[in-house]
Amino acid sequence: MELRHLRYFAAVAETCHFGQAAAMLHVAQPALSYAIRQLESELDVTLFARTTRQVALTPAGEYLQGEAARILDDVDAAMEGVRRIAAGRSGLVRLGLTGIAAFSHLPRIARAVKQALPDVELQISSDMLTPMQCAALQSGEIDLGVLRPPVLGDGIELRTIDVESVVLVVSADHRLAVEPVIATTDLRNEPFVMYDSRDSAVNDATLRACRRAGFVPQRAHEASGTPVLLALVAAGLGVAVLPASVRALPMEGLVIRDLADAGSTEVALAWNAGEINPVVESVARVISNAFDLSAVLPSSAPLGEKL
C-alpha cells in the first residue's frame, strides 16, 4: 500500500465523488479510479459501493477512512518535524552552565530560546565549572557550554557573550562588610575560599587581582561548587573574589562589595569545533544575539565560522 493510494482514497471518501476528488488532487479521474481499484485489489475488499448516481463507503471503507486520516496526519506531522529539525527550529539541545551563570545568565538564555525557537527543548546541566564543561563537550555529553575561558583541550570553539567585573564576597559580620568599596590590597592578610579545581577561571581571576595588588592569596578552604563556596564564606571561614553576576544568587548572611582595580572575567559560549547539528547552531545564534556584544553571530554564519 502506497501513501499515494491512501491520499487518493481519503479524498474520494471525503467527497464521495470521483470527479470532485480528482479535481481536489489535481489528477485525471481515470488515474484516480485506477488507483482506487488497485487499493481494493491489494486489500481484497470493496471500499466504495458505486452506482451510476452515487458513490458510498462500504463498512470496510468507513473503517479505512478513520485509519487513513490518522496515518496521514502522523505522516504529515513527521514530515513537518523532520523539516523543522533540519532547519534548526526543533529538537533537543543539552546546555551546561557554571553555577553562577545558572542564576545570572540562564533566565535570559531560556527566555530568548523560548521566544525564537519555541519547539526547541533545553536540557540544563548546572554548576559545571569550566574544566567539567570542556570534558563534557569533548565527550558529547553536552552540546553547548556557558563557561569562563580559558578552556582545556582541543577542538572547542568560543564566542564571548559577556564581560563582567569581579567583586568581593564576605560574611555579614566581616570587618569589611561595612565598606562600600574595597581595595584589593586590603585582602592581603585574609584567608580565601576558592574552587578546588586548579583550572578554575574564577580562581585565575582571583590570583591575577591579588598579584596586581602585590600578594598571593592565602587559600584557606576549597569548594567543589558555588553553593558550598558561598556557605563557607557565610560561615566566616574566608573571603571570596567572584564575578559580579554572583549578585543574582540568593545569599543569606553574605555581603557583596565592589573591589577596586580587580579586573574582569569573561563569560563565553562554547561548542565542539566540528558541530554540524542545525538545532545547536540555531540555539547558539539565539544565545549570542541575546547578549548583544560585538562578537555575536551573523544570521547566516555557521556555528564554527570565525568572525
Give the model confidence (pLDDT) of 187-237 as tens digits. 999 999 999 987 888 999 999 999 999 999 999 999 988 889 999 999 999
- Candidates 146, 11, 142, 3; CA nearest to 75 is 3
Distance of CA 259 to CAs 9, 147, 211, 242, Å? Answer: 75, 22, 14, 10
Instruction: State yes or no: pLDDT of 302 exceeds 70.
Output: no
Single-letter code of the amino acid located at 137: L
Could you tell me which residues come within 8 angstroms of residue 151 by beta carbon, excluding any fewer than 6 positions away? 130, 134, 158, 270
pLDDT computed for residue 97 by the predictor = 94
91-160+266-294: which CATH topology?
A: D-Maltodextrin-Binding Protein; domain 2 (3.40.190)
- Candidates 29, 8, 34; CA nearest to 19 is 29
pLDDT in tens, 171-186: 999 999 999 999 999 9
pLDDT in tens, 152-170: 888 899 999 999 999 999 9
Single-letter code of the amino acid located at 16: C
Equal fold, 91-160+266-294 vs 164-263: yes
Grid coordinates of 34: 485506477
pLDDT in tens, 22-57: 998 899 999 989 999 999 899 999 999 988 788 999
Q: First-to-last CA distance in the chain? A: 52
d(C-alpha 239, C-alpha 193), whole Å: 6
147 close to 201: Cβ distance less than 8 angstroms:
yes
pTM, full prediction: 0.67
Give the single-character DSSP code of 298: P
**Beta pairing partners, 257:** 168
pLDDT band at 74 (very low <50, low <70, confident <90, very high): confident
Question: How many C-beta neighbours within 10 Å does residue 48 have?
Answer: 19
Instruction: State yes or no: pLDDT of 123 exceeds 80.
Output: yes
Distance of CA 6 to CAs 13, 39, 177, Å? Answer: 10, 8, 75
275 close to 281: Cβ distance less than 8 angstroms:
yes
d(C-alpha 20, C-alpha 11), whole Å: 9
pLDDT in tens, 76-115: 888 877 777 776 677 899 999 988 888 899 999 999 999 9
Instruction: State yes or no: pLDDT of 295 exceeds 50.
Output: no
φ/ψ of 190, rounded to 5, equals -90, 140
Alpha helices per DSSP H over the chain = 3-15, 18-25, 29-43, 59-86, 101-104, 106-116, 130-139, 201-212, 226-234, 278-291
Domain 3-87 sits in CATH 1.10.10.10: yes
Q: Where are the domains of the chain?
A: 3-87, 91-160+266-294, 164-263
d(C-alpha 113, C-alpha 123), whole Å: 12
pLDDT band at 301 (very low <50, low <70, confident <90, very high): very low
pLDDT computed for residue 53 by the predictor = 82
164-263: which CATH topology?
A: D-Maltodextrin-Binding Protein; domain 2 (3.40.190)
What sign does the CA torsion over 66, 67, 72, 74 have?
positive
d(C-alpha 187, C-alpha 259), whole Å: 10
- Give the mean pLDDT of the chain: 88
Q: Which of 70-74, 206-210, 300-304 has the lowest mean pLDDT?
A: 300-304
169 close to 233: Cβ distance less than 8 angstroms:
yes
Instruction: State yes or no: pLDDT of 13 exceeds 80.
Output: yes
Instruction: State yes or no: pLDDT of 306 exceeds 70.
Output: no
